[in-house]
Amino acid sequence: MTWPIGGILAIAAFLRLFRLNFGEYQWDDDGIWSLAVNAVTQHTLPAKGIHSTLGTGNGPFQVYLMMPFAAVTHDPLAGMIGVALLNVAAVYFAYRFVREFFGQRSALIAALLFAVNSWSVMYSRHLAVQGMLIPFQVLFFWSAARWLARGRGLDLVLAFLWLAIATQTYIDGLVHLGSMAVLLALGWRRLRLGPLLGGLAVWAGLSAYYLIAVVVGEWRFLAPELSGDRIFDLSSVQFALLQALHIGFELLAPQTQAPLQPVASLETAVSVVEGALFVGGVAYGAWRLVNHIRERRAATTEMLLFVWLLIPIGVYLRHQDILTWRHLVLIMPLPAIFSGLVLARFWPRVGAPLLAGLTANSLGLAGVFFSVIPTCVGNNVYALPYQQTFDLAGSVERLARDSGAQRVYIYGRPSLGPILASILDRDGFDAQWVDTSHGSSLALAAPGGPPAAYVSLDDASGVGRALRAGLSGQQAMEQPIPCEDMTLRSYVVRPEAVRSAVEPLLPAELGLRTANGIAIQRIGTERRLQPGGNLSLVIEWTRSGTEPATLFTHLVDPNGRQISGSDRPLSSGTAGLEWQDLAVPAGLLPGRYFLELGLYGDGDRRLSLIDGSDTSMLWGPLVVASPPASEASLTPADVRFGDAIGLSGYRAGADGLVLRWQALAQPRADYTVFVHAIDGSGRVVAQADSQPLAGDFPTGTWRAGETIIDRHPLSLPPGRYTIEVGLYELGSLQRLPGGPLDVQLTVS
């Protein structure tokens, strides 16, 4: 190895390994590492890796590549070092490839540009499938180029080997199957049956199980992606061009943007030069290809480069999901190779200063990146670094160990929460992550049991609010995590303390019991519906067995028509709380609505209630309030009923009574209004008892400060009457203290 390439590899290694403890550690990273650790400890080989955005699994080689490192230590930093070193090797593979077909100068230039390319650096600094793919796609196209040039059968077999690994490292690598088909067609004159069958056998032996059992077996996930409506645009061209630019540091780590603001104009100019070099290199490659064909010289390597470039771009011209720069990792390191060709062509007068300037700029940006990655900005694109993630996990582990907590519950969205739970689980703790994206659940252990640790990462979730409100005095740790726009709060409490903390959240008894021993005990929710908003509710449940069940909560109108709903499987355990959010349609009309509650067993089978009466129950009412009404010509009044309701005006007539109620505070229950017409002998000759607005606006849904205009019809014959108005609780018939309002009325 000559000293120039040695120096380039040293630069590549430095950029990929320096401060690697501040490399990103995402959910996918932890998923790959967990699979590798489990495979080593359980002595198994998984059939697939982590799930892709298409819904089907990635190939298992992303796990196999990490298993040697997981066999040495369970610390994922070892795997991150492994990915970094693989990508240093990719720089060397690219150098050897270009040197073999385009000469030493082009190879050194391409290797240097590849080594300092911001995207390739970022891909290689964590357990990213993109970073695992790059080395093997370089080896695939290098071997394919050697076969096209020389026809050696071993190179074809090796090309199939690298293709099998590449396609099972990152699912997007399956695009290279199309490239292989085109390359075989281009080199058909060099095809020999033995090497072809040998290569296919190698590829099939490594790939068949994954393709049949996983890709075909999970076709239900892929089919909608491949057959649904698709977008046709030039995003793939844009993202291919982006791979040549130095702005990967700024886009992926936004904390670098502020220090670079003073030189923003310079960086824009550099980006223009980098893009022009890539485009110019592609044009130069096309010129070489045309000239070689015209002169009847072999042009297979140039053809291979264009197959490598154009097939991924062409495949992604039509796409269904949102396309990102990650998909165009399939062309890495072509930007460096094409740019290297054109710089070598104009060496040294133009090429040398341009290469020096671009390299110095990239190294300077890398320096800024390394200086700021321990910091972050809110809602950061750059994931929480490994160091901070494992520091947080260590803090939770020490808390659980020192307090004797038997279980750790972690509540949060799919970012940091599942990662912490996975780390604790690998370290021997009984940890459970609860997703708070669409509601959340809280296990209620039996009284008298051991303490548990509760870790909240989502203050806005129902369980996060409940823990803060009920256990604020027992909070053991509070740590802001600005990178993720969240705060970690932990509590170590006994079951009795948790039950006491949630008691105020559940004011209403339900008593719904199913025949298999599951009970929906209590509910808490805001009974005023806001059209266009969400209805948040919390439900307490218990069960005597372990049979799985799904709680359904439907918002229905008085006719039983479902308006909105939420189905959520009950979490494990014998008791718990479930938070649910129901969407309230924007155009929902004023009036009464109800919650229909029940349970599904296996499939869509509703569980019968214990008394056999039905499979669900209605609870409510909930209301959409009418717009505030006003009424002129009311006689003033000043009557209080209890401490929450006042009567401030009325108008009486032969056809009934108009009342103006004031909510002095939030009423605690739904009270019934009574209106009695009493004649001169003290006999009640007519009455109208109902909740306000004929039941459409129960007092329990009023809010402090509201004014309610309420009408109660009466039909009275001529005579003189005393109209008596008051409130009572229907269940006990107990009148509210205060009042009644007495109105003298003469009907002629």
pLDDT in tens, 304-337: 999 999 999 999 898 766 778 888 999 999 999 9
Q: Assess if residue 196 is contained within a domain.
A: no
| Tokens matching residue 62 | 């992303």
Residues 444 and 471 in one domain: yes
Residues 579 and 665 in one domain: no
| Bridge partners, 661 (sequence order) | 647, 708
Residues 402 and 476 in one domain: yes
Which residue, 502, 524, 547, sits at the end of a domain?
Answer: 502
The residue among 226 and 497 whose pLDDT is bigger is 497
Q: Measuring CA to CA, how many Å separate 677 from each of 92, 744, 748?
A: 99, 10, 15
Give the three-class secondary structure for 159.
helix
Residues 491 and 556 in one domain: no
Residues 659 and 598 in one domain: no
CA pair distance 514, 594, nearest whole angstrom: 20
- Residues with Cβ within 8 Å of residue 117, at least 6 apart in sequence: 243, 244, 246, 248, 332, 333, 335, 336, 362
Domains: count for the chain: 4
Q: Assess if residue 336 is contained within a domain.
A: yes
Q: Assess if residue 163 is contained within a domain.
A: yes
Residue pLDDT, tens place only, 39-88: 999 999 998 999 887 777 889 999 999 999 999 999 999 999 999 999 99
Q: What is the pLDDT of residue 219?
A: 62
Prior bond of 569 cis (ω within 30°): no
Q: What is the mean pLDDT of residues 202-216?
A: 85
What domain range includes position 491?
386-502
Q: Assess if residue 121 is contained within a domain.
A: yes
| Tokens matching residue 270 | 């550099």
pLDDT band at 379 (very low <50, low <70, confident <90, very high): low
pLDDT of 207 > 70? The answer is yes
Nearest of 252, 249, 272, 266 to residue 368 by alpha carbon: 249
pLDDT of 407 > 80? The answer is yes
Nearest of 138, 91, 139 to residue 111 by alpha carbon: 91
Q: Assess if residue 739 is contained within a domain.
A: yes
Residues 175 and 39 in one domain: yes
Q: Which residue has the tokens 């844009």?
A: 238
pLDDT band at 3 (very low <50, low <70, confident <90, very high): confident
pLDDT of 575 > 60? The answer is yes
Q: What is the mean pLDDT of residues 458-467?
A: 92
Q: What is the pLDDT of residue 606?
A: 87
Of the listed ranges 260-264, 463-467, 523-527, 607-611, the least confidently predicted one is 607-611
Q: What is the mean pLDDT of residues 403-425?
A: 92
Residue pLDDT, tens place only, 249-276: 888 888 888 888 889 899 999 999 999 9
Residues 291 and 260 in one domain: yes
Percent of the chain predicted with pLDDT > 90 = 67
CATH assignment at residue 601: 2.60.40.1930
Residues 138 and 283 in one domain: yes
Q: Measuring CA to CA, how many Å separate 678 from each of 94, 682, 733, 736, 743?
A: 101, 6, 19, 20, 10
Q: What is the pLDDT of residue 492?
A: 94
Q: Specify the pairing of strand 616-624 against strand 635-641.
A: unpaired
pLDDT of 564 > 90? The answer is yes
Q: What is the pLDDT of residue 85?
A: 97
Q: Which residue has the tokens 């209605």?
A: 618
pLDDT band at 515 (very low <50, low <70, confident <90, very high): confident
Q: What is the mean pLDDT of residues 141-158?
A: 95
Q: Assess if residue 401 is contained within a domain.
A: yes
Q: What is the pLDDT of residue 642?
A: 92
pLDDT of 200 > 80? The answer is yes
Q: Assess if residue 543 is contained within a domain.
A: yes
CA pair distance 581, 271, nearest whole angstrom: 46
pTM assigned to the model? 0.83
CB 57 within 8 A of CB 48: yes
CB 30 within 8 A of CB 50: no
pLDDT band at 299 (very low <50, low <70, confident <90, very high): confident
Residues 497 and 520 in one domain: no
CA pair distance 143, 157, nearest whole angstrom: 9
The DSSP 8-state label assigned to residue 598 in this structure reads E
CA pair distance 327, 319, nearest whole angstrom: 11
Q: What is the pLDDT of residue 1?
A: 56
Residues 671 and 561 in one domain: no
